[in-house]
Amino acid sequence: MAMEKDPTRTGKNLDELYKFSEKYKPLWIFRKIGMGDVDLEKLKMVIFTYIVPIFFGAVNFALSLGLGNAVDRSLLYLTYVTIGSVSAWFGGVAGGVITVSATIVGNLFISQYVTGDGISASLLFRSGMLLITTVLLSLMFSWARNRDETLYLKEKERIYARTFHEIYEEYTKALNEIKARDQFLTIASHELKTPLTSMLLKLNNMLNSVKNVSLAHFSVSELMKVLQNAQDQIRWLSTMINDLLNVSLMTTGKMSLDYQKMDLVKTTENVKESFSEWLKKEKYAVKIESEGEVIGEWDKTRIEQAVTNLFSNAIKYGKNKPINIKITNRGKTAKFIIKDHGIGISREDQRILFRPFERPKAVQGYKKGLGVGLYLTRMIAKSHGGDVRVESIPNFGTTFTMELPVNRKNP
């Protein structure tokens, strides 16, 4: 069984993705001047690659101009390297090179035009060493920075992949639910309309007979048949409407349970009695086995509904062959096992058997229904802390097992 997703975790991942994408959002001030493709990340790149290095170069120029004759050249050299390295850390290799290039040009300018010392071989050597040192440090910083960036991006990639997977699964689930809903609407409209159409047609015919035929020739037996049919159709409509209401209560979590002690064997016998006419008509033989009473703390109405659904399912698809029911109590768990010898269910169809509004291919068109009975049965069992499972072989019958904890305190 698939594990339930944690919506909190998904929400946090989406928040991270949104915050991460903020820096790629176009800046409104640039959109106003026709530069809509400029975002915060691009602006930062321009600032740290070009503007900040030029500023640092100007700082070095000012230091050379103000302190050139006041401090040792080695100290200035270390200052240039330090500032160039800081520029390289933020602006990459290009930032470091721009800073040191501006520094060298400034020093050459000062030596040539300010101090009048001229451009000596010693100055060119020191400038070359400064450039090489700064470039090497820039490459080291760039490698370290790129490594951190790579690790950061790999983490974001993991978040992207995980979140995409979860969103895609939710999307697929939503598509399947929409498909199931559309199928349900088609089935429901047909199933609800058919008995109404039949009932209205027969009532109209009877009304016409009453209006146009003398009472002496009026058939009471025919009227009784029409009324009986109308009663059956109304009962069928009521059952389907109740099923839809129960599905709504289940899916919204608003169905409450009224726990009370009850005998599962007696409930099953009562359900069997309610099907007596149908069993007689279809010539079914039903055998109920138990080792005495099976007492549990359950919602009597809901458990009776679950047993009724399983009983009805066995009659619908049992092909008039014997139905065997076995009820046991093993410690803290009661079992209701019902086995028919009918059309059976393929392994593929068993995967969708307990889904709402979906019916196995083998039974589509075989018997009418909304396809919610087994879904409701499993949900009722689960709401009590139990479950329902199925075992089946096509053309050899089906066995449903409903397990229920006998004690409400130990589900």
> What is the domain-level CATH number for residue 239?
1.10.287.130
Higher pLDDT: 295 or 147? It is 295
pLDDT at 265: 95
Shared domain check, 189 and 158: no
Report whether pLDDT(353) > 80.
yes
Rg (CA), the chain: 41
Please say which residue of 171, 204, 228 terminates a domain.
Answer: 171
Q: What is the pLDDT of residue 203?
A: 75
pLDDT band at 368 (very low <50, low <70, confident <90, very high): low
User: Could you tell me if 288 and 272 are in contact, meaning their C-beta atoms sit under 8 angstroms apart?
Assistant: yes
pLDDT computed for residue 410 by the predictor:
43
State whether 240 and 299 are in the same domain: no
Q: 2 in a domain, yes or no?
A: no
Considering only CA atoms, which of 250, 247, 253, 234 is closest in space to residue 181?
A: 247
Mean pLDDT of 350-373: 67
- Residue 403 has what pLDDT? 95
Domain boundary among 171, 202, 231: 171
Encode pLDDT of 243-275 as tens digits: 666 666 666 555 678 899 999 999 999 999 988
User: What is d(CA 329, CA 336) in angstroms, rounded to the nearest whole number?
Assistant: 9
In the beta sheet, which residues pair with residue 298? 260
Shared-domain flag, residues 272 and 143:
no
285: how many CB neighbours lie within 10 A of its CB? 10
Q: Which pLDDT score, from 0 to 100, does residue 371 have?
A: 66
Instruction: Give per-residue pLDDT as tens, 126-146.
Output: 778 878 887 887 788 777 777
* Number of domains making up the chain: 3
CA atoms of 335 and 344, how far apart (whole Å): 21
Whether 51 and 195 map to the same domain: the answer is no
User: Is there a single domain that holds both residue 316 and residue 348?
Assistant: yes
User: Looking at residue 294, which CATH number applies to its domain?
Assistant: 3.30.565.10
Which residues in 253-299 belong to E strands, given as ranges? Answer: 259-263, 286-290, 295-299
**411 domain-assigned:** no
| Whether pLDDT at 335 is above 90 | yes
Q: Which range of residues forms the domain containing residue 126?
A: 7-171
Mark whether 101 and 217 lie in a shared domain: no
Structure confidence at residue 181 (pLDDT): 67
Reported as a single tens digit per residue, the pLDDT across 212-254 is 765 556 667 777 777 777 776 676 677 667 666 666 666 655 5
Of 252, 277, 310, the residue that ends a domain is 252
Tell me, yes or no, whether 331 and 185 share the same domain. Answer: no
Question: pLDDT at position 3, please?
Answer: 41
Task: Tell me, yes or no, whether 286 and 362 share the same domain.
Answer: yes
Answer yes or no: do 277 and 360 share one domain: yes
CA atoms 183, 301, 328, 269: torsion sign: negative
392 and 269 within one domain:
yes
Q: What percent of the chain has pLDDT over 90?
A: 17
pLDDT above 70 as % of the chain: 69
Sign of CA dihedral 368, 372, 378, 383: negative
Answer with the residue of higher pLDDT: 280 or 207: 280
Q: Is residue 307 part of a domain?
A: yes
